[in-house]
A = this chain, B = another copy of it.
Amino acid sequence: MKGEKIMGTKNVTFTDSQIELAHGAGGKASRKLIDGLLVPYLMKKNEELADVAIVPMANNRVAFTTDSYVVSPLTFNGGSIGELAVNGTVNDLAMGGAKPLAIVSTLIIEEGLPSDVLEREVKAMGLAAEQAGVSVVGGDTKVVEHNHADKLFITTAGIGLIDERVALSAKRVEPGDKIILSGPIGDHGITILLARGELDLEADIKSDTRSVWPFVSKIIDIAGPGIKWMRDPTRGGVATALNELAIDANVTVELQDKLIKIHPAVRGSCEILGLDPLHIANEGQFIAVVSPEYEKPILNAMKEIPGGEEVECIGEIQKGERNIVIAHSQYGGTRSVDMLVGDPLPRIC
C-alpha cells in the first residue's frame, strides 16, 4: 500500500486509502485498483487480469471468465439479475471467441429474502441459459444476516472452447481497421437508472440484456482471424472499452458521432442528467475491430440476424500512437472521449 513495493517483486501502486463506489464502476478508478493492487499480487509477471482468460488445456484453448452481479433493483424493464448473470458470462466468453459450454453459479442471499423472489431469479437464470444454449452445471449458496447483503448477489463463471479460427489481440489492431458496433447504446444503464425511481423521469426504454453469441458465431464464420479485437461495453460504456483498446493497441481510435445509434429516450435522459451515452453500460451489445475487407460482409450478415438490424461501422483505427479516442460530431467539431471517471450509476450490473 501507499505505493511502496512489497515482497520485492510486487509493484503495488494503489494508494487510495479506502474503497469507494467508483472502484467498482469499470472506469479509471477500477483500472487503478486492478492494475495497482490485484494484478501485482495475483498475476504472474506479464499477465493481465482479463475479462476472459485463455487457459491452454490438452492442445485446446479454453476461455474462462467470471463476473459478480449486484444490480439494484433486482428487476427492471427488459430483464433481471438472474438473466443478466447468465448473459453477462455468456457474452464474456463470446468476446473471447468461445462458444459457451458450461456455467457455474453462486448465490449470496440476504436472510429473509422472500422465496418467490429467489425462485423468480433462478427461473430467469434457467431460461437465459436455455436460450443461450449453455448448461448450469454446479453452484454454491451462502446466506448472510439481514443488512449484510442487499437481497441477492449472483456470481457466474463460465468456460468455453475457443474457436480455432480466432486470433484476438489488441496487438494485432492496426490503422485502417474498422470498428463495428452491434446496435444502439445506453439502453441498459438508463433503464436501471429509471427503474430506481429516484429521478422524476419516465421513458419507454428497456435493458438490452441478451446473448451476443449468435452474432459472434456468425462473424467468426465470415472473418475468422480478420476479427482482431472484441469487447462488450458494459460498465464504463463504449468510451471506456475503446480507451482501453487505444492504450493496449497503442493507436488512436476515431469515431463518427452520427453513426453511433442511441435511442431518443436514452439521448434525452443523458442530456437531462449531464451524462455521455458513450459512458453508459450496455448488456447486449459488442464492439468488434476487423480488417477493412470484412466490414461490409459482417454488416450484411449481422443485419440478417434478428436483433442485429442496427449494427453499424462507427469508426476506424487511425495512425498515430496517441492512445486516445476522438469523436467527430456531425457539425464538424472534434472532441476527445475519455474513460469513465467516478461512478454516475453505481450497481448497474
Contacts and interface: CB of A to CB of B under 8 A. Distances in A.
Interface string A226-257: 00000000000000000000000000000000
B113 A42 contact: no
Nearest to A136: B42
A113 B51 CA distance: 24
Contacts of A222: none
Counted per complex, copies of this chain come to 2
Nearest to A347: B144
Interface stretch (A115-123, A205-213, A324-332, A334-342): A115-123
Interface string A110-148: 111111101100110110010000011111111111011
Contacts of A136: 42-43, 49
A215 to B, nearest CB: 23
Interface of A: 1, 6-7, 12, 14, 16-25, 30, 33-34, 37-38, 41-44, 47, 49-53, 55, 57-60, 62, 64-70, 101-102, 104-116, 118-119, 122-123, 125-126, 129, 135-145, 147-150, 153, 155, 157, 159, 161, 346-347
A129 B53 CA distance: 16
A323 B281 CA distance: 51
Nearest to A44: B135
Contact of A19 (B55, B64, B109, B123): B109
A14 B115 contact: yes
Contact of A140 (B57, B67, B115): B67
Given A49-B137, A55-B102, A55-B159, 18 more contacts: A12-B119, A17-B114, A23-B109, A23-B141, A34-B141, A37-B115, A41-B119, A41-B125, A42-B129, A43-B136, A65-B104, A66-B105, A66-B106, A67-B106, A68-B106, A70-B148, A108-B108, A149-B149
A138 B125 CA distance: 23
Contacts of A14: 115, 119
Contacts of A118: 19, 37
Contact of A53 (B7, B138, B144): B138
A113 B259 CA distance: 42
A137 B64 contact: yes
Cβ-closest 10 pairs across A and B: A24-B143, A157-B157, A53-B137, A41-B126, A148-B150, A68-B106, A53-B138, A42-B136, A66-B104, A155-B155
Contact of A138 (B24, B52, B106, B137): B52
A153 B148 CA distance: 10
